[in-house]
Structure 1
């Protein structure tokens, strides 16, 4: 089979495209013929070695995929040949990735594609949507009618956070580029603020703040947080440093949490997948603009992502000449 893979960690030019053996499945695995894979920043971190995880070489890159079941293991009970399926947790912790014509996926990490959902739109969405879902429901454990500030809401994760927070009955405020205001209000934001303005101009206090940008002072965010409030960081400032006033922080019983989806538990990933399929089936979370490339362009795709090109679009690779309406 054809695959995009590396023989060692390094720059994007380490990615090779060529023949590898089609994987053999065990009793609890499913062999999937891949239709499309998405390319996310985390893929570049794994490839470069920036994110430390167990790999076996040659290592097939990629984490998310959508495709069709072609073979099931002897102890697999939940899938049948011919079904369309997706996964979002391959390519790390010793598991081979998804950028190949065929992949062997543990049954526990595989989910059905809802009927009538475009598979390419789905695979483009799952990384940011699962991140948003786990943040809200497993990390913050949100409650209805509380208020949340989502910073950097115009980005991929930010917009998914707005959609899911709105569905959960939260009062949503956002920071973003002015050009994103109408889009975010359509998704459910009540108040929209220009991200270029200092956040200390915001007069509200929040139960939850999620910083997707790393560009806001931690103390400024804590000043916007109410009693028992929680902040989640999913990135860091360029200098990797934050300062804050400790006394007011602990006296207000506030908390600071960090999150990366690579450390989500299997139970969290499974729960998020069921939530996402519920929304996918209703046509939500599927509005990303796609940039589709053939799988053989995987190295180029990584270079584009690291250079910030097509940053408003989601890069999707296809082993064959798939189209958006396929």
Structure 2
């Protein structure tokens, strides 16, 4: 089968495109013909070695796929040959990736694609939307009626956070660039503030007079010292970006007000948590509440170029859709 793979960590140009032995499912695996895959920032971290994880070499890159079941391991039930399915947790912890004509997927990491959903639309939102769900629900413990502040609401994960928080019954306040303001409002943000505004903290205080219940910053700045006094009693801060930042920890305002700071990365989600996220993602796909802001179509042979584009910041909110 044709695949995009590496023979060791390195820059984007270490990715090769060529033939590898055909994948074979184990007893609890499903073999999937890949219809569409994509590239996430975390894929570049794994490929470069910045995110250490076991890499069976040659290692097929990529996490997400939408495809069609072509074979089942003897211990698998609940799927049939020909089913349209998706996965967003390959390419990590010893699992081969999705950038190939076929992929082996553990059955407990595979979900049905709802009828009528475009595979290209689905593959572009699976990773950001599941990340948003885990950040909001599992780690952020979001409740109906709470106020959520999303930093970087115009990005892929940021926009998914806005859409999911709004669908969950929260009031959503967003910081974003002026160019992204209208997009964030269309997603359901009640207030959108320019993150470059010199009086940003004061403006946030005025639109959140009762405090912020849950804060998620996708920009990776993690400026806890500036934001902590805006967080309400028992408010939560979820860190989901910025692996190299070392912010000041405002311990006093945190412990005196029962506020918490939680770090989270989707790679450590349990299969039960991923399955719960998948249920929400599927419901929102069917309802038309999740869609990429824009896409760039590329062939499987161009995965290295897609990695380079992400690292150079050339996509600007668009998602790559790769078709084998």
Structure-1-length-normalised TM-score: 0.95
For the residue of structure 2 that corresponds to 1:39, the secondary structure is: coil
Cα distance in structure 1, aligned partners of 2:179 and 2:306: 26
Moved over 3 A (4+): none
Counterpart in 1 of 2:227?
A: 221
Residue number in structure 1 paired with 2:80: 80
Decide which of 235, 256, 263 is 1:251's aligned counterpart. 256
- Which secondary structure does the structure 1 equivalent of 2:38 belong to? strand
> 1:237–1:42: structure 2 CA closer, same or farther, 3 Å change rule?
closer
1:119 alignment counterpart: 119
Instruction: Summarize the alignment of residues 38-187 of structure 1 with structure 2, pairs less than 5 Å apart.
Output: 38-187=38-187
Find the residue that maps to 1:46 and give its secondary structure.
Answer: helix
Between 1:197-206 and 1:308-317, the stretch displaced more is 197-206
> How big is the shift at 1:169?
0.7
2:151·2:219 contact (CA, 8 Å) conserved in 1? yes
Separation in structure 2 between the aligned mates of residue 311 and residue 143 of structure 1, nearest angstrom: 31
- Corresponding residue of 1:13: 13
> TM-score, normalised on structure 2?
0.95
Alignment RMSD:
1.3
Distance between the aligned counterparts of 1:247 and 1:6, measured in 2?
47
Kept in 1, the 8 Å contact 2:135–2:240? The answer is no
CA contact (8 A) 2:292 2:318 kept: no
CA distance in 1 between counterparts of 2:289 and 2:250 reads 40
Mark the runs of 5 or more structure 2 residues left unpaired by the alignment.
none
Q: Which region of structure 1 is more displaced relative to structure 2, 118-127 or 72-81?
A: 72-81
Give, in angstroms, the shift of residue 14 of structure 1: 0.8
Q: In the aligned structure 1, how far is the partner of 2:185 from the partner of 2:105?
A: 38
Deviation, structure 1 residue 244? 4.0
Q: Which whole-Å CA distance do the structure 2 matches of 1:191 and 1:32 have between them? A: 42
For residues 118 and 253 of structure 2, the distance between their equivalents in structure 1, rounded to whole angstroms, comes to: 49
Question: C-alpha displacement at 1:248, in angstroms?
Answer: 2.2
Measure the CA separation in 2 of the matches of 1:75 and 1:248.
Answer: 52
CA apart distance, 1:154: 0.7
Q: Distance in 2 between matches of 1:51 and 1:303?
A: 17
